[in-house]
Structures are given as C-alpha cells and as structure tokens.
Amino acid sequence: MATAEKAIWFQSSREQLDALLLEVCEGLQLSLSRHELAVERYGTVNEILEKAGSPFQLLRPRIFPQGSMALGTTCKPVEGPHDLDFVLQIDAPHWRWHPLAGLSALYEFLSSNETYRKMISLKNRVVRLTYADEFYMDILPAYTDLSSGGTCILVPDRARVSLCPSNPEGFILWFRNTCLTRTRRVMEKAKPVPAQEAVHEKEPLQLAVQLLKRWRDLAFAEECLAPISVVLTTLAGMHYAGEESVSEALTTILAGIVNAIALADLQGKRIVVRNPSNLLEDFGERWDANPQAYNAFKAGIRRLQKEWAVIVAGGRETDKELERLFGEYVRTALVKRAQRLQEARNAGALAVGSTGAITGLASGVARIRPNVFHGDE
Amino acid sequence: MRSRFPHFRRTTNRGDQIKWRGTLQPSPRSDLYEVEIAYEIPCRPHIQVMTPGLTTWGDLKRQPHTFRDGSLCVHQAHEWHGNKLIAETIIPWTCLWLAFYETWLETGCWLGEGTHPDLPEHSPFGEIVGAAA
C-alpha cells in the first residue's frame, strides 16, 4: 500500500475507511497559515500583558493556549469565526481580591489599548478579542490554585460571582497521554504552543475528536443544545482504549458513551464529565440548567452510534452517509483519491486482484493496460 | 479467466458466443458488482452490470462512458480485438470503470477521463457539482 495520506488501494475495508477519515480531518483542521496567524496574535497579546504598564506585569503572567489548538483537535466551524482559547495565569493571592477583579482588570487594560478597543467584549469567564478575519481569541484570566497544587487554577465566573476550579494544562497533559495508542503509551509533555501537526501525524483519538466535533456542528442546528467541545473531548478520552485505527477508536468511544448514558439513565442521573485533571470540575454541569440539551445529546449520540455501525459495515452507499455526518470534506477526499487513481493509471502502475480489487502491480493478477473510456454520444 | 478471476464462471458457450458471469469489487468498501461479459464473434465484448443496478448522479439520465443499452464502454474500438484476452483487458478495465463510477456517483465528477468530455455526465469537478447541487 502507498503511504497513509497517499493511499490508492487498500487491504481492508477498515484501512480504506481510516484513509478517508484522515483526509476528512485534513480538511477540518486549522490550516497552517491560520495556525501561524493565531500563534503570532497570541504572541502579541502575551507581549502586551507582560510589558511595563500592564497591571499583570508584576504578577508573573503566563499565557498559554488551551482547548483545541493545544489538544490538536481544531475543527473548522461550519460557519462563523474560529475560536482560540488562551489562559492568562497569574501567581497572586486571589483571596485578597474580588473574584472578578482579574477579569475586570484584563478587560479594562485591553480596552485602553488602541488596537484592541474595537475588538473587545466581556463574556462570562473570558475577555474576547474578535478579529476581522474570522478569528476570535478568548482569554481566560486565572489564578494559580495554591491549595490544589500542581497545574490547578481558579477561574472567574461572572454568573456565579466566584472563582471556579479548573486545570486546562493538566487536561492537555491528560489528553495527550490518553491519545497514545496501545503501542505508544509513553509520557509526553505538553508544549506551550504545540506546532501544528500534519494530520497523518495525529493520533487516532485526536482525529476521532475532530470528527465528533464536526458531527456536533452539523447535527445540532440549535447551538444551545449542542454538547460543548470539552465534553466531547473528555468523553472521547475516557472511553478510548488505545486503538490504532480512527474508525475503530470511534466505534469504541461511541459504545462507551452510549453505555455510560444507559447506566446513568438506570440511576436516574445524567452522566458526569469530570475534568480528569481536576475532579472538582464537571464539564457537564451546563446540562443541569438545560436538561433539553442533555436529552438532545443522548438522542444524538445514540443515533450516531447506529449510523456509524452501518458505515463501518461498508458498501459504496455509506460514503453518502459519511458526508451527511461529517460534511463536504468527504466528497473532497473521494475526489482526491480518484485523482490519485487516475495518476497511477496514467503511470501504468495499476493492476487488479482476483476479486477485482484495484491494487499495485506487485499484488495483482492482471495489469491494467492503457485504455480510453468511450461510449455513445 | 478462471485462473485469474475465480469468481467468474462461464454461463454460455455455443461456438460463436461465450458469456461469463462473476463478481467484481474494485475496493474493499465498494459494492460487490455482478457483471456479465458476453463475447460474440466478431463484435466487441458486451459488459453489463447485473446487480446492483447502476444509478446516476443527480438528475443525469445515464452514466459516463456507457452505451444506450446501459452496457459499459471501457475502451475505444481499436484498443481491443479478438486475440486479446478478456481477463487481461476487459475485466481490469471494467474494475477501473466501476471505481470511477463510484466516485462519480458520490461527487458528480468523472475523474477517469475518456472521450466526449463535453457530455454533461463527463463534466469536470466544479461545474457539474455547482449546477446540480
């Protein structure tokens, strides 16, 4: 077989499906130029927050990415801007100040900046900078959580007027470690700004998360009902069992989530999605205030599991189903594969196996000789 | 034929006419196509997909590179003659046709090239997708 990203012929249905999903994820992820732009903007904001005149200058500010960019699970939005999440962590005695003091100080400081004044808005936990070119950057001011230790932080929540526990850095470490397949279970350290990985370098779990997020974006028309990314990412990580194949990983993850939902239903509860790196944080808590969203998630994920099983079973028609679930990148991937097939045909590099499967010259029973498709006008 | 494609069997053999029927699957995720190939001297081999029935993309009336009776046209007249083995020509070309057909059916793009590029079913990527989407 050719290399994973250039595959033309396949030994098995699973291998073929994985290659297709890999190309879909290639379309889904933040392009390299957009990634570089995001890193550049992150650098600029970081500089401003650290330099003289910043209220954070003496508080040893540390700004680092969290969310999909740090996890390697970026997924282009179906429409609207791409969000990038950063944490501004300061070492300060938070108990001396109002819980929202850091958030207010960040908002006021950036509002006083000529460049950011027109781009800034205040959200429940973050200060948002909206760029003209389909990006927004959410900056979460946070205090080091000295009592919990490690990489735990406390983050402001305007609705609760309090500080809430979190641990995005620990979450990144947990996810990156969970990502490793059975054969590659070794510790990795999170990098402050991970370089953009090519899709073929990504782990199956990262790809599965990208696909789940894309499914979410397409399946939930109402944003208020859609499960948030960190819930999907955590659930995927919790149920991933180290599969080497993205399609098999997705099968396992979906089965795990559906089983967990069934178990919780039996107990008359919702599933709990604890931050594995800070058990005080439950990413599913929004469902308490919005049970309709939990019901929509349950119905959606059960439906996805059934639809996914049909896709895994194979058959040409299932490509349409894949496109319905994950969007137009499926079509693009199929076109690219056919283009590669045509190139290999022009190069005289194709043969067929005894079942009619197109393959390389070494493994075929009959070479595909030059021909021109014809027909009636 | 049987030595290369064991899923094919001869269904008719009466001197000037021979027919084979068998299954082809151009990729592991493809459908399994039952194909009949009939060769009657001095005509060109007649290739018919029996099951599943061929369908079309969008509103198009027929598949690319087919004859009006729905049989496949996988070569130009001069590319085949009676002393060429069907197992070495017609069958591999049919597999290739089926592979491109499957992409066409999903995307509306015929990427296997061929004659009559101006026919609507042969339109290159982009034009037809935009027109029929």
Residue A4: the pLDDT is 44
pLDDT digits (tens, 9 = 90+) for A286-328: 999 999 999 999 999 999 999 999 999 987 778 889 999 999 9
B24 interface with A at CB cutoff 8 Å: yes
Most A CBs within 10 A among B20, B21, B27, hence the mutation to make, goes to B27
Reading the block at residue B96, the tokens are: 């290739």
Distance from CA of B29 to the nearest CA of A (A): 5
The pLDDT of residue A196 is 67
How many angstroms away from the CA of B59 is the closest CA of chain A?
16
ipTM of this complex: 0.90
Q: Say how far apart CA A10 and CA B4 lie, in whole Å.
A: 19
Distance from CA of B60 to the nearest CA of A (A): 14
What pLDDT does residue A132 have?
83
List, in sequence order, every residue forming a beta bridge with B33; answer none if it has no partner.
B24
pLDDT at A183: 57
Predicted pLDDT at A184: 55
Residue A34, token pair as written in the block: 């957009």
The residue ranking higher by pLDDT, B117 or A310, is A310
Residue A247 CB partners (closer than 8 Å, separation 6+): A14, A17, A18, A21, A312
Tell me which residues of chain A have a pLDDT lower than 50: 1-5, 185-191
Summary mean pLDDT of chain B: 86
Contact A281, A219 (CB under 8 A): no
Torsion of CA A65, A70, A73, A75, to 10 degrees: 30
pLDDT of res. B114: 87
What is d(CA A16, CA A13) in angstroms, rounded to the nearest whole number? Answer: 5
pTM over 0.90: no
C-beta separation of A172 from A193 below 8 A? no
Task: Tell me if A355 and B30 make a contact (CB, 8 A cut-off).
Answer: no
pLDDT of residue B15: 80
Surface-to-core class of residue A352, CB atoms within 10 Å of its CB (0-12 exposed, 13-18 middle, 19+ buried): buried
Q: What tokens were used for A88?
A: 């501004």
Question: Per the CB < 8 Å rule, is B99 touching A368?
Answer: no
Report pLDDT digits (tens) over B58-93. Answer: 888 889 999 999 999 999 989 988 888 999 999 999
Q: Say yes or no: B132 contacts chain A, CB-CB below 8 A.
A: no
State the DSSP code for A234. H
Cβ contact A145:A165 at 8 Å: yes
In this predicted structure, the answer to whether residue B124 has a pLDDT above a threshold of 90 is no
Please name which of A317, A314, A324, A72 lies closest in space to residue A215, comparing C-alpha atoms: A324
Of residues B33, B87, B100, nearest to A366 (C-beta):
B87
For residue A184, give both structure tokens: 């590659």
Return d(Cα A221, Cα A209) in angstroms, integer.
19
Query: Pick from B5, B30, B75: which is nearest to A372 by CB?
Result: B75
Res. B129 pLDDT band, cuts 50 70 90: very low
Q: Would you state the pLDDT for residue A190?
A: 37
Residue A300, pLDDT score = 97
Exposure string (b/e) for A25-45, b if CB count within 10 Å is 16 or more?
A: bbbbbbeeebbebbbebbeeb
Beta strands in A256-357 (DSSP E): 274-275, 278-282, 350-352
| Sign of the CA dihedral running B102, B108, B114, B116 | positive
Running DSSP on this structure, what letter comes out for residue A227? P
Q: Determine, for residues A316 and B102 on separate chains, whether the beta-carbon distance falls below 8 Å.
A: yes
E strand segments, chain B: 9-13, 17-24, 33-40, 46-51
- Helices and strands (H and E) in chain A: how many: 12, 12
How high is the pLDDT of residue B131?
A: 38
Query: Are A10 and B28 in contact (CB < 8 Å)?
Result: yes
